[in-house]
Amino acid sequence: MDKFIIDGGRRLQGIVSAQSAKNSVLPLLAASVLTEKQVTIREVPAIADALCMVQILRELGARADFRGGDVVVDSADACSHEISSALTKELRSSVFMLGSLLTRFRRAVIAYPGGCDIGLRPIDLHLSALKRLGVKIEEREGFIFCKCDVLRGAEIALDFPSVGATENILLAAVKAEGRTVVQGAAKEPEIVDLMNFLNGMGAKVRGAGTDVIEIEGVKELRGVDYTPIKDRIEAGTYLMACAICGGEVEVRGVAPENIRMLLHKLRENGCKIHAKNDKIRIGSSGRLKCNRRVETMPFPGFPTDLQAQATALNSGGEGGAVIVENLFETRYKYVPELRRMGADIEVNGRTAFVRGVKRLHGAAVTAGDLRGGAALVLAALGAEGASEVFDLGHIDRGYADLQGKLTGLGAKIKRVRV
């Protein structure tokens, strides 16, 4: 396993372009088996989760090849409707393969995707929605067996705007008989991206980005050549790196409205933000002011995937901050690692009370999950002295070439084999 060695305290300067959004690319790859025609997804980032999704497609019998930075999927020969437990464990968000497999094969079998580092991650909303579409579901010995004769459009109301459940419904409803209306749908930009991708295949989806989505079932879907939106969470991570280190950085490729709440919070910290089209420039100098409160909410609220990074940023700010994590039960596992760097944080349930310290100091810390690991890197970049960050596999799941991109901005970060 590798580790990062980071020399903190260097200002960041320059331009960084965001990768394609991890949380778009994954559902788009799942959607590629809805048709037997060729599908091309452009600029797929070299991240472990995307590689895992490609592996899942190959296990189904589809051809899925990396060509340059793109992935070309030809699933004409796909014949299996089962996803191995090894892959479901590795990539729990593969659960939205259920919708694709049911549309393609009318059957699907996946291992129950267990909880993970950030919470229980139940899938009750997925399963109850699929039942509304006519799917018979049996859970046995840790597996979920789904089958249906016909997928029929239905009215579906989600008790919570689950991103994955909303995506599963779209994938199961696009070729269903009749019309499906989803009330209480997730509104994330990645849902809009999936709608655009599906409509590019000839689907009839409307309303993504609002809490009511309508899907008119169609008979056939054609191939598509599609470029996903860029990764707003990766972009936010680089903006917060510059906020913590000081300097001037321009992040390219992400629409400011896709991270509006973060930009608002960064202005509260005392950063200068200038956003135009898909270019967001941040200027940061001197000690940041703590945000009084950061509360994660479904889109367009503050993203839960930037919560850990916000805690790291506030750890070195002036004053105090209350961080509330409303989406996942245990998304503070990185806090003890931040404490090793001198952070003053008390966690009580879903709330973290941060008292800003003048400066964090370097330490040897271990990533426990994707975004918590990114937060440790950010803290190390701003800390006094050298740090080591272990267990980079978590970070590799969602950030392509984090070390190279940060080095390009002037950070002193090396990746070495342990």
Of 324 and 364, which has the nearer Cβ to ligand EPZ? 324
* Smallest separation (angstroms) from ligand EPZ to the CB of 163: 4
Shortest CB 19 distance to ligand EPZ, Å: 12
CB of 11 to ligand EPZ, least distance (A): 28
**Which CA distances in Å does 178 have to 32, 33, 43, 253?**
22, 21, 34, 37
**Would you say 56 or 125 has its CB closer to ligand EPZ?**
125
Two structure tokens written together for 142: 């840790």
Paired residues of 7 in beta bridges = 386, 412
Please list the residues that pair with 137 across neighbouring strands. 146
In which residue are the tokens 């699933």 written? 75
Structure tokens at 169: 């419904």
> Tokens 């700010």, residue?
317
At 14, is the secondary structure helix, strand, or coil?
Answer: strand
Pairing of strands 155-157, 212-216: unpaired
Taking the C-alpha atoms of residue 232 and residue 136, their distance in angstroms, rounded to an integer, is 36
- Closer to ligand EPZ by CB, 123 or 262: give it: 123
Rounded least distance, CB 218 to ligand EPZ, Å: 25
Minimum CB separation from ligand EPZ for residue 90, in Å?
A: 13
Q: Active site residue: 116, 146, 242, 271, which one?
A: 116
**Are the beta carbons of 177 and 151 closer than 8 angstroms?**
yes
Residue 91 carries which side chain, given as an amino acid letter?
L
- Smaller CB distance to ligand EPZ: residue 271 or 338? 338
Q: What is the DSSP secondary structure assignment for residue 110, as one 8-state letter? A: E
The three state secondary structure string of 350-361 is CEEEEECCCCCE
Instruction: Assess whether 146 carries a catalytic annotation.
Output: no
Distance CA 133, CA 254 (A): 35
Of 288 and 400, which has the nearer Cβ to ligand EPZ? 400
Please, which residues bridge with residue 273 across strands?
282
Residue type, 81: H
State the nearest-atom distance from the C-beta of 342 to ligand EPZ, in Å: 26
Looking at the Cβ atoms of 160 and 414, the one nearer to ligand EPZ is: 160
**What residue ranges bind ligand EPZ (CB under 6 A)?**
22-23, 26, 93, 119-126, 160, 162-165, 186, 304-305, 327-328, 370-371, 398
- Nearer to ligand EPZ by Cβ, of 4 and 328: the residue is 328
**Three-class DSSP category at 23:** helix
Q: Whole-number minimum distance, CB 249 to ligand EPZ, in Å?
A: 22
User: Hey, is 391 helix, strand or coil?
Assistant: coil
SS3 of the chain: helix, strand, coil, percent, to 5: 35, 30, 35
Q: In degrees, to the nearest 5, what angle opens at C-alpha 361 toward C-alphas 355 and 365?
A: 95
Known catalytic residues are 116
